Amino acid sequence: MKSVRPSLVKMSTKAPTGIAGFDEITGGGLPHGRTTLLVGGPGSGKTVLALQFLAHGVQHCREPGIFVAFEESSKRIVANAESFGWKLAELCRHKKLFFLDAQPLPDLIQSGDFDLGGMLAALETQAKAMGARRIVFDALDVVLALLPDLAAERREIYRLHQWLLAHELTGIITLKSGADETNSISQQPFGFMQFMVDCAVILNHCMVLGVSQRSLRVQKYRGSGFDENESPFLIGASGFEVAVAHTLSRADARVSNERITSGVNRLDTMLGGGYFRGASVLITGFSGTAKTTFCGAFAEAACRRGERTLFVCFDTNSTEVIRNLLSVGIQLDRYVKNGCLRMISARAITGSAETYLVRIKALAREHRARCVVIDPVSAWSKSGNDLSTQSVADRLIDWSKGEGTTLVCTSLLDEMSGQVEGGSQLQISALVDTWIHLNYLMQAGERNRGLSIVKSRGTAHSNQVRELILSDAGVTLADTYTAGGEVLMGTLRWEKERAERVAHEAAEVAAKLTRVRLDAEEAELNVRLKSLQTELVAKQVEKALLVRTTQSDKGELSRGRTQMKELRGADAAIPGRKLSRS
Amino acid sequence: MSRRALFKFRLYVAGDAPNSALAIANLAAFCRANLPDRHEIEIVDVFREPQRALAESIFLTPTVLVLAPPPVRRIVGTLSHSLTLLLALGLKNSDS
């Protein structure tokens, strides 16, 4: 029994409002069975928030509701809220929602003190009859203003509060505040009310540099943690949408190691395999540096994989983008036709950055997009002050991270303002995972596009500037000519490369020539060697012949002398004797 | 208008809340003083008959409806200022 209790208690402590963002700020909704004070200036959206709370209660929480209208007539309220699609009239018919018109009549005559006892009695019956769990007192200040003094006002507020607590109704009391929120809010009896209630929410609507900015702040919330900062909100087509930054734990929830192609092969190589799934990619560059082309290439590649993609273009019409990208061989129209790609053109003239973020989020949700392209995100800085657009950009990245959506956004750099190396106007470059910078290089009367990767978290990436070449075949990246400390692109690169080629050829020919010459010389020497060898052999033969001839001559001589002696007969002695005598 | 016209009051009260008790006493005293023998007072307790309060849009208590003579007037409060009542009922002109 005891172990079940905590979860039960937890279940019932919050009454969800169904407002995206608001339930996150408050950790689940308004305090269940308690009173919430909603304070805001004229047109700040008090009634809308209160109605949405009731409508959500009926439609999703099985909690019928009562709306006590002190200011506007219920008919007008229902009619005004019709555009949000909550079907209030239908809910009223089914007795799930009840509007009590409690506007003080103009001909009301006042004589002395009075109280709200009658209304509470009537409401009690009504609440019992329909089993109401939620109640809204809209513009309570109207009726409080009728009360003669502060003490009476306090007494009636207290009465109302006690009544709400006794019946365990989740209540919203809305109050008007003047233009200056901080001043009027602390005035009695609203100040008193703020201390009394369990939760207080302040709505703010102001103009910043001519752009409407709405924000909401939870001032107090008894017994619950909440986001204490001002959160921008928007009243969109389906009611309130509160912009809220994801808490850290959520942003870190999904991290993927999957790589997806950037749509340009060479860029993938430079990035060591492509973008990370769920990463935020920023492409900066001056106008005309082919930022949109990279977006298009990415979108096309995503669609080819069958991933639903949302392409938001701010400065150009989407059909123009499709046509223009066709010239570099990126075909988006067929993916638009088969529904994989959704192109949205949003002119950056109207609406605050907040509006855009909320719309983009809604569209992405509706399209179930896995990849989102925003071109250019810097268009946001046109609308509203830098501070708010900055926080919008932060939240955009937070959101895409939380959803696991791969986000590619471009940022236009103003050439005139002379930003060095593309410090992006919206300082989101610090937040993104991959930052690709496109630049022009002016050389010899030519403008050439260069691409470099400024950073890419968690991936090895090339440090080289590549030349970007756009042709009907698509986007290609070429190595720049970087020898000798020079970086050359375009025609200069081509010329330099050609000159190098020619020089190389000439050197080759010269070498060939020398080889031929050497071959000839070698051959000549070989020939000479052979003839000398032949001569040598001839000489040797001659020499041998000479020796033989000399020997035979000698023998002939001595033989000849003996013969002559014999012929003369002078001495018959043996030659040996004769020789020793003479 | 005849000076003898009958005044019909319907007073909505919230139980025995101080304001309501005061209003009952004040109305009775006013009628005795200004409308002797030509008044009718109906007292409706909104706690007992909340449907009637809802139907008549009685949200502030005490409220008195002056049903007759026409037009119907609605006076809110403890009815402690008899001058306001006299003016509202046309028993006294504002300039006099």
Domain of B15, in residue numbers: 7-88
What pLDDT sits at residue A505? 92
What confidence tier does A511 reach under pLDDT thresholds 50, 70, 90? very high
Half-sphere exposure of A554 (CA within 13 A, CB side): 5
In a domain, residue B96? The reply is no
Place domain A250-480 in its CATH homologous superfamily.
Answer: P-loop containing nucleotide triphosphate hydrolases (3.40.50.300)
CB A403, CB A250: distance < 8 Å: no
**A vs B: CB pairs below 8 A:** 107
What pLDDT sits at residue A388? 65
What pLDDT sits at residue A1? 39
Q: Checking DSSP bridges between strand A309-313 and strand A371-375, what pairing results, if any?
A: parallel
What confidence tier does A148 reach under pLDDT thresholds 50, 70, 90? confident
Please determine, for the modelled complex, whether the ipTM score is greater than 0.85.
no
Q: How far apart are CA A377 and CA A283, in angstroms?
A: 10
In a domain, residue B73? The reply is yes
Q: Least CB-CB distance to A109: which of B22, B47, B73?
A: B73
Domain ranges of chain A: 10-106+115-244, 250-480
CB of B24 less than 8 A from some CB of A: no
The dotted CATH code for A10-106+115-244 is 3.40.50.300
**Count of C-beta atoms within a 10 Å radius of residue A254:** 12
Cβ-Cβ contacts under 8 Å, A125 against chain B: 50-51, 54
CB A139, CB A70: distance < 8 Å: yes
Q: How far apart are CA A293 and CA A200, in angstroms?
A: 49
In a domain, residue B79? The reply is yes
Between A7 and A293, the more confident residue is: A293
Averaged over A39-50, what is the pLDDT? Answer: 84
Nearest CA in chain A to B62: A114
Asked if the domains at A10-106+115-244 and A250-480 fall in one CATH topology, the answer is yes
3-state secondary structure of B28: helix
What pLDDT sits at residue A29? 84
What pLDDT sits at residue A351? 64
In a domain, residue B94? The reply is no
pTM higher than 0.90? no
Nearest CA distance, B39 vs chain A (angstrom) = 19
What pLDDT sits at residue A181? 45
| Interface touch A118/B73, C-beta < 8 Å | no
In a domain, residue B1? The reply is no
Cβ-Cβ contacts under 8 Å, A146 against chain B: 60, 76
Half-sphere exposure of A339 (CA within 13 A, CB side): 3
Of A16, A14, A22, A394, the closest CA to residue A233 belongs to A22
In a domain, residue B59? The reply is yes
Q: How far apart are CA A171 and CA A136, in angstroms?
A: 6
Half-sphere exposure of A125 (CA within 13 A, CB side): 17
Alpha-carbon distance values, A349 to A210, A345, A385, B8 (Å): 12, 12, 14, 64
DSSP characters over A184-222: HHTSTTHHHHHHHSSEEEEEEEEEETTEEEEEEEEEEET
Number of domains in chain B: 1
**Could you tell me the end-to-end alpha-carbon distance of chain B, in angstroms, rounded to an integer?**
18
Position A24 pLDDT exceeds 90: no
Cβ-Cβ contacts under 8 Å, B61 against chain A: 114-119, 121
Nearest CA in chain B to A159: B17
Phi, psi at residue A257, to the nearest 5°? -95, 0
Q: Least CB-CB distance to A117: which of B14, B51, B78?
A: B14
Nearest CA distance, B23 vs chain A (angstrom) = 9
What pLDDT sits at residue A528? 94
Q: Least CB-CB distance to A125: which of B19, B50, B61?
A: B50
Position B55 pLDDT exceeds 70: yes
Averaged over A261-287, what is the pLDDT? Answer: 84
Across A118-122, A298-302, A350-354, A356-360, the highest mean pLDDT is recorded for: A298-302
Query: Which residues lie closer than 8 Å to A333 by C-beta, 6 or more apart?
Result: A322, A326
In a domain, residue B93? The reply is no
The percent of chain A in helix, strand and coil, each rounded to the nearest 5, is 45, 25, 30
CB A127, CB B56: distance < 8 Å: no
CATH code where residue B27 lies: 3.40.30.10
Average pLDDT of the residues of chain B: 81
Between A183 and A570, the more confident residue is: A570
